[in-house]
Structure formats: C-alpha cells, structure tokens
A and B are shown apart, each in its own frame.
Chain A
Amino acid sequence: MIYLDNGATTLIKPKAVEQAVINAMQTCANPGRGGHRAAMKAAEVVYACRESVAELFDLDDPARVVFTQNATHALNIAIRNVLREGGHVVVSGYEHNSVMRPLVALKEKAVKFTIAYAPLFSAKAQIAALERSIQKDTVCIICNHVSNVFGCIQDIAAVNALCKKYNLKLILDLSQSAGILPISTKELSEAVYLCMPGHKGLYGPQGTGILICCKGDLHYSIMQGGTGSDSLNLHQPETLPEALESGTLNVPGIAGLHEGIRFILQKTPSAIGSWEHALKERFVQKARNIRGLHVFYGSKLQSGVISITCDQCTPEELGERLAAKGFCLRAGLHCAPVAHQSAGTLPQGTLRISLSAFNQKQEIDALCFAILKTIS
C-alpha cells in the first residue's frame, strides 16, 4: 500500500505516537479529577502537550491551548464566539465545509457572509477579493492557510494586515498547514483563534484537535459541563482552557499528539514543508508528460497537496483504478465545494494526492507510473 491521503489524516505516524497512546491508556486516569498518581500523571501528560503546542506556535501562555475533538470542533467554537452577536463575515474562496456549514447554520442568528472568490494560486488576487468583500458591518475574516483541495498557500501575513487595516478579527484554519509551514502567533496580531486538527500534519491520533485562543479573556463554550475545577459554581468557568474543555479529555490521544508535535519540533516545520515541496515538484515534473492528465500546479504557492484530473475518466474512476493498485488517494469534492467553485472543477471535483514527511521519492515515481499505465 502507498498512502498518499495525508490531507485526510496521516496514517503513518512516528513510532513514539503509538507507544504514547498505549502508555497513556495503561497509566493515565482523568486529569484534574483526583489527587491520586494516575490522575496526576494524566494532568502532566495533558499539560506537556499544551506546552509543546505553545512552543510550536510561539505562544507565551500554554493555558491558551484548548484541546478539541478535531479542527471542525475548534472552528465551531471560534465561529460561534466571534459571531455571537451576529454580523458579516468574509471568507476566502477556498474554505472547507467545516467553515461554511457553521456559517450557514448561523444565518438565522443574523450572521451574513461573503465568499471572496479568487483564481487558483494567486495570493494577491485573493487578498484583493477579500478586501473588496469587506462591508460596514464586517466583523471577521475566516481563511484557511492552505487549501485542502489544491494546496494553494494563502498569504496569511497579508490577511492579518488586512484585518488590522479594517479592525477585523481573524480566524485561521490551519488544517493543512500546522506542522508543515512555520506559524508564529506573534506574527498574527489580529488572529483571535487558530484552529487545527491533531491527526494530520501534527501526527497525533484521530479524535484530537487544537484551538489556540490568541486574544481575549472571555470565551463562550458551545458545550457546558464538568471541568474538574470550581465545582460549586453551576456556571461554566471562564478561565482558559477549562472554559472550553467540558467533560473528560481524550488523554490517550493527547499523549500521542504530544509525541507527534515533539517529532515536528525536532524536524522543524520548515524541513517537513521543504521535503513535501520537493516530492510535489518531482510528481509534477513526471506527471506533466502524461497525455490527458491535468495537474493543478502552483509552484512555491502550493504545499504538498496536489489535485489532478484527466480526460480519459472521472476523478472517482481514476481513484478507484489506482486504489486497486494499492494507492490511497481521495477523489471527489473533498468537503470543499466552494474551492471547486473558485477553481472551476465542479461538478466532478478532482483526485487529490496529499503528502507527508514519511512519503518517499520511490512512491511518487510508482504513482506516476501507475497513472500512466491506468489512463494510457
């Protein structure tokens, strides 16, 4: 099997991740719910992961790291906080349904949104489209760092500057960039929330996600319950991270996530991103020569996420044929119809190749050969 669906989840993890999950299942109880050794051990594991997240994203206070179930969960908390009083939002033309569906669901609460459509791999056009979409009642820009379909990298520094110019809040979806591109909270002055999964580029287990609360002292939970603190108070605590972490945490998942982040800190996101970029370039160089194959290519403005289509068959059919040969790819709309609207790839979508630090050059070569054989 050759696994190239890392945009959905990384399947190959550092060995230490699996071991940490097992260790946590054997030794960790419920953090903050008791003073015994197993509860304290769990609390240590959770806090160590908060510290590693803070180190990776250049954040001073680990208490601003909130653990969620996934990026969608984090985005829902972020969106419902920023738009609690309603208002207008501008989103990029490449957003995932994890952003679009919460916004549509909030329409009845006086939330309006504008999609800033822009051509593929044109960061300047995207910024211009975002700026054109700002209205008098706009309160926020929501933008992914890297498109989950095409891998196009947004200029988040420019988006941050735009938010500063118009006094807007910024929510960033780092689902495809966390662990792969360098990101510093210190360079994102207008970012209120950063949202990301733990199980993709951070190499943690599925069921883990992160919400970084960059600014603000009052955060509303979309779920209330036990936090292991302030128990006499029947209202949800306001202190972070407990305000947004009701119920028992996924301690084994968080233990694994900590090891995944330690792996990234050791390798560095820059090195991982460069490796994936090199693999992408290798694929593009070889795939360009295959007749009938179309590669959506953005050079340095593209991460290790590549979409392809071909004249001979649909993306689904090509994906099925390659799956029969042992390649794990994803075909279709990738839960991001807005991105396909922007790129003009509706209704069939694309076949996506998404890379990780563990992919090798030989796997890219094997894929190119298999595509050639499949569609020739």
Chain B
Amino acid sequence: MSCLIVFRTMTQAQRAASILSNQHLSVRIVRPPLEAGKGSCSAALRLPEQQLLSAKNLISKLSFQPLAYYQVLTDGRLQEVFP
C-alpha cells in the first residue's frame, strides 16, 4: 500500500522530497489526478504507507503545508487521511 502527499506546486513537492530523502524516506514525485489536487494542477510525493507518519512529522516543520494526504487503496482509488 502506498500514500500520496499532494502539494500545491512542483517546487513545494521537490523541496519536501529533498527533505524526506535526506531522512532516508523513499519518495517519488508524481503527477496526481486532478481530484487529488482539489481540482487543480499540482504535484505529489508517492511513498510507502508505513513512512507516512514520519513524513508528516517532517513536513509539519516546513513553511508550507500539503493540500492533502491520501492513502492509495488496492483498487487504485484515493482515500484522504488527516483531512
């Protein structure tokens, strides 16, 4: 199971990815579906579900915050977590 952390911009996703990677979390930048970006173009980090809490803690220290956190269900649908 994996998770998506959706950011408003590609640069924010890249900044977050850089910080998470430095802490040995395995993240990949992806283009999320429109609905994940609350209907607007955005960028997201995909990471294993077990790393989500660590990632959230690290991201909470940044000057910007994600649009949303999602769990990717087995059928591919997205379920928002920490709404």
Contact = CB atoms under 8 A, between A and B. Distances in A.
Q: Are A and B subunits of one complex?
A: yes
Interface of A: 31-32, 34-35, 39-40, 43-44, 47, 50-51, 61-63, 227-233, 237, 239-242
Contact of B9 (A61, A62, A239): A239
A229 B41 CA distance: 5
18 contacts: A32-B11, A40-B29, A43-B43, A47-B11, A47-B14, A47-B18, A50-B11, A51-B18, A62-B15, A62-B18, A228-B9, A228-B10, A230-B40, A232-B39, A232-B40, A233-B40, A237-B9, A239-B8
A339 to B, nearest CB: 37
B46 to A, nearest CB: 11
A62 B11 CA distance: 9
B31 A229 contact: no
A67 B45 CA distance: 24
Interface of B: 8-12, 14-15, 18, 29-31, 39-43, 63-64
A43 B12 contact: no
Contact of B15 (A40, A63, A233, A237): A63
Contacts of A43: 10, 14, 29, 43
Contacts, number: 64
Given A32-B11, A239-B64, 5 more contacts: A44-B14, A62-B15, A229-B43, A233-B40, A242-B9
B63 A229 contact: no
B11 A230 contact: no
Given A61-B63, A241-B11, A34 B31 contact: yes
Most buried by A among B11, B29, B42: B11
Contacts of B11: 32, 47, 50, 62-63, 239-242
A237 B43 CA distance: 15
Given A43-B29, A228-B41, A233-B40, A239 B10 contact: no
A230 B15 CA distance: 17
A31 B12 CA distance: 13
Contacts of A39: 31
Nearest to B14: A47
Nearest to A230: B40
Contacts of A241: 11
Contacts of A35: 30-31
Most buried by A among B12, B30, B31: B31
A361 B15 CA distance: 43
A11 B29 CA distance: 36
B14 to A, nearest CB: 4
Contact of A230 (B8, B14, B18): B8
A47 B12 CA distance: 10
B30 A63 contact: no
Contacts of A34: 31
B14 A229 contact: no
A39 B31 CA distance: 10
Nearest to B32: A35
Contacts of B10: 31-32, 43, 47, 228-229
